[in-house]
Amino acid sequence: MPVIHGLNKTTLLDYPGRVAATIFLGGCNFRCPFCQNSGLVLHPSQEPVISTEEIFTFLKKRRGILEGVCISGGEPTLSADLEDFIRQIRALGYPVKLDTNGTHPEIIKELFAKNLIQMTAVDIKACPDNYCSLTGLMHPDLAAVQETVDYLLNSNVDYEFRTTVVHELHSRQDFEAIGQWLKGAKAYYLQAYKDSEEVMQPGFSSYSQEELEEFRSILLRTIPLVEIRGID
């Protein structure tokens, strides 16, 4: 079973349109400097662990109250026995949403094909030309991300793309390029960056509401649904 490092027992944000619980798994193959979960990425073995027994006891008790389960991270597709874990959640009657960076398209495709996940949210870190600087890697597997993007754009599954927008790392040109890259996507969300001690490299800042609205207008030229999240 996957190693579980966190549980948000109730969220109205993580699974759009549903009251959900979010389960956090450790480990990641990216090193994004603006990552909000640096502990799960850099040293998951030092993070608290929640037993699968505790998770399933909680989910059984919340049937009829919760409307879905979101699996996040870290990068969940790196976790051992992810499919079996999701299968047990589905056996309780919950729809499942998977958060991912898109670097394991074969896993995403298989989970959808087996009706184990009902939605995925793919974090688009930047436009393709800037993936190196935004993922903290010299050679990020952009071909794998592209395969995930192509699969979602050409399928009938439920998904969203999203980008955490950082003032020092993203520009208007990024969103002009992303708009062309994800042309025709079902849904795209601009997420306002929030600084905290848990960030991989604290000290970044967010764009203003007005600036995010400008980026939104750019994206709406090619993507029919674009919204902003995280503005107080």
In 3-state terms, what secondary structure has residue 114? coil
* pLDDT tens column, 77-94: 999 899 999 999 999 999
Question: In whole angstroms, what is the distance from residue 35 CA to residue 141 CA?
Answer: 18
Instruction: For residue 61, tell me if it sits in a domain.
Output: yes
Residue 225 lies in a domain: no
Domain that holds residue 121: 4-167
For residue 88, tell me if it sits in a domain: yes
Domain count, the chain: 1
Assigned domain for 35 exists = yes
25 lies in a domain? yes
Residue 67 confidence (pLDDT) above 80: yes
Given a contact cutoff of 8 angstroms between Cβ atoms, the answer to whether 190 and 228 are in contact is yes
Residue 209 lies in a domain: no
Instruction: Give the pLDDT of residue 121.
Output: 98
Taking the CB of residue 75, how many other CB atoms lie within 10 A of it? 22
Q: What is the pLDDT of residue 46?
A: 80
Q: What is the pLDDT of residues 88-120, one digit of tens each?
A: 999 999 999 999 999 999 999 999 999 999 999
Nearest Cα residue to 186 out of 141, 120, 128: 120
- What pLDDT sits at residue 114? 98
Provide the CATH number for the domain around residue 148: 3.20.20.70
d(CA 73, CA 79): 10
Instruction: Say what the pLDDT of residue 175 is.
Output: 98
